[in-house]
A and B are shown apart, each in its own frame.
Chain A
Amino acid sequence: MEDEWKRIKLEELYEQHSDAIFRYILLTIGDAQQAEDLTQEVYIRAFKGMEQFEGRSTYKTWMYTIARNVIHDFYRKKRPIAFLPSFFINRPEILQLTPDEIVEVGEEAVQLYQALNRLKPAYRQVLLLRHLKEFSIKETAEILGWSEAKVKSTTHRAMAALRSEMMTEGGCQHEPVR
């Protein structure tokens, strides 16, 4: 009976959040097939851990916390070649979309993603959660395991860095004559 309740609850969570979680993972790692596999992993872990869910956060925040851990583990397992593997999540590859998907999303949006992609992982993570997924500072702090102050300051820096990336890409470069 308990298992049945867990299954029903998970199905509900799958319907409600799996698309958003899939996109969050896709925008972090860049590969749709991997993102789909990792989304599965998120839900399997959620099923296993559902008894430990204490209701201190919302189910949504909890699911994203799991997603963040799944992504982290994915990089640790897949790419032990990273020089300092446990400090950061590696950069994603270029967003792999089909031409049809690019048309649907729009080239400018893809450019925004590329600018996002050039930021350091902490910046990217905080912007994906705060700006794209519209989590509050408190929720973002919960998901990333940071203090609220760190979320605030990192968001501020990340926005400035993203602005700078977008302007660099769009503007022209000047070099003093030497």
Chain B
Amino acid sequence: MSLFDDQKEQHKADVNWSALNEIPRDEQRKKQSWQLINQKMTTGNRRWHLWKKILHPGVIGPAVVFCFLVLFFPGIFQDGLFNEKTSEKMEPSYGSDGNGQAPAVQPDNQDEPESGGGLEETPDQAVVDAESLDIKLQQLMELYIVASEDKELLPEFFEEFIAFPWEAAYDRYSEEAAEMLTWIAELDEMTRKEYMAKIVEDLYENHSFRSNEASFLLYHLYTLQPVEFLNDLAMLVDEQDQAALFQSVVEYAEQLGTLDFVKELLIEVRNQNDITRDSSLRAEWNNGMAFTTYQMYNDTVLEETLLEKSGKILTTLEKGNYDLLAEEVHEEKGLTISFTADFEEWHQFSKEEVSNFVTDSSRYYWGEAEGQSVVVSPAQLIRNYFLNTDFTISAFNSQTSERGERLNTIYENYIDGLYVEYFAADAASEKNDWRKLRLVFEENNGAWQLVAIVQDTKQ
């Protein structure tokens, strides 16, 4: 397991790993720790011996007999009192709708009033019945109002909030849910995040975050706290789940017609945070931008136009017709060519410079390939490195991914851009290598013009 190819660098890294493994430990504290462990072991043992005494048949036997008699012959001790109290308890209806009415949906036995009320119903009763849902929601709202006054009722409220069948009601009660979620967001930080976490955790554990219910909740969580949402999403262990959770938000936004808003929030996140300082957040942000933009233009005329345009540009590149290529280049921004997906090495050329690529023999440093520096002219780079393979698949604004390779950072550089990606599996490679070429476009005076050509390869 080497971090670096360079032996000297690797040796340095090994020394540093060893140093971390030798961080000093305070000997005094170590001794104290052992004494405390010893103490706790003794206390633990004493408790265990006490339990042993309690569990002795001579003690436990009569206790079991007593409990048996209380349970099965309560009359011996209470003379019928127990039964009377139980029936009294069943009288008042907790589940009224505020007017003293019983819930509209009644169980089979119509003569008896419903006991307990909606919030205590069994899960089987959580049916998609409009009236019963209205009642449930009203009860939830009542609980929400009470809980907003009395914090002790918060756990009960959240339990019911999570248990509410939003799946069946998300389109009916979006306003109410948004109100409650907004209230959650305004609680003190500890409480807010604890309960938001419970909501998302519940969705996660049930693997249902592609459902409408989950999308609905996730969308609101994202719009309330986009930075926290992305940050925590970025910390998910499973990258597929990360993507699925955010896709869920974006797909819901599409239903609402608020994809622009999702994108605006993403841009705000970037404006307020240095996303490059955190690789996970950075990946999450770039993925989010790519997917949101994809969803905005998927199946539109623009997607078709750009796929067609990029197909022609690829042919132009293959033919080495740079005059024609220059016509597609952005008038103000020119053309940026990057050897890596994360724009580590790049050069920018004006329209005019692009049209002179055929005769331009100036050589530039582009980066490393197979341990060798690549120092060639732009035309050589395109011919010998970018196009030395057959691209078989093209995709519009495909989502980026962080799989240990370089991150696609097109959206950090071209916030309003769209791109077409060409993919080729390198059949000659034993390591399942692949190569991608991304053509990035931006709108300029109503026309979509080429602003960048970016290569991505398996590292």
Contact = CB atoms under 8 A, between A and B. Distances in A.
Interface of A: 3, 6-7, 10-11, 14, 18-20, 22-23, 26-27, 32, 36, 39-40, 43-44, 47-48, 80-88, 90-91, 97, 101, 104-106, 108-109, 111-113, 118-122, 130-133, 155-166, 173-178
B23 interface: yes
B3 A162 contact: yes
Interface in B191-214: 193-194, 196-197, 200-201, 204
B44 A47 contact: yes
Given A36-B29, A87-B237, A159-B3, 9 more contacts: A44-B41, A47-B37, A84-B236, A105-B20, A106-B16, A132-B20, A132-B21, A160-B404, A176-B336
B25 A23 contact: yes
B27 to A, nearest CB: 10
B315 to A, nearest CB: 26
Interface string B6-42: 0000001101110111111110011001101110110
Contacts of A173: 276
Interface stretch (B105-113, B144-152, B342-350): B342-350
Nearest to A33: B29
A158 B239 CA distance: 13
Contacts of B280: 119-120
Contact of A121 (B231, B235, B452): B235
A81 B235 contact: no
Contacts of A177: 348
Interface of B: 1, 3-4, 12-13, 15-17, 19-26, 29-30, 33-34, 36-38, 40-41, 44-45, 189-190, 193-194, 196-197, 200-201, 204, 228-229, 231-237, 276-280, 333, 336, 338, 343-346, 348, 402-406, 413, 452, 459
B19 A160 contact: no
A161 B234 contact: no
Looking at B12, B37, B279, which has the most chain A CB atoms within 10 Å of its CB?
B37
A5 to B, nearest CB: 12
A45 B44 CA distance: 11
Contacts of B21: 20, 23, 132-133
A102 to B, nearest CB: 10
B229 A83 contact: yes
8 contacts: A36-B26, A80-B193, A84-B200, A87-B204, A101-B24, A109-B15, A120-B237, A166-B3
A26 B23 contact: yes
B151 to A, nearest CB: 15
A164 B405 CA distance: 9
Contacts of A108: 12, 15-16, 19
Contacts of B30: 18-19, 22, 36
Looking at B1, B15, B228, B229, which has the most chain A CB atoms within 10 Å of its CB?
B1
Contact of A84 (B17, B19, B20, B204): B204
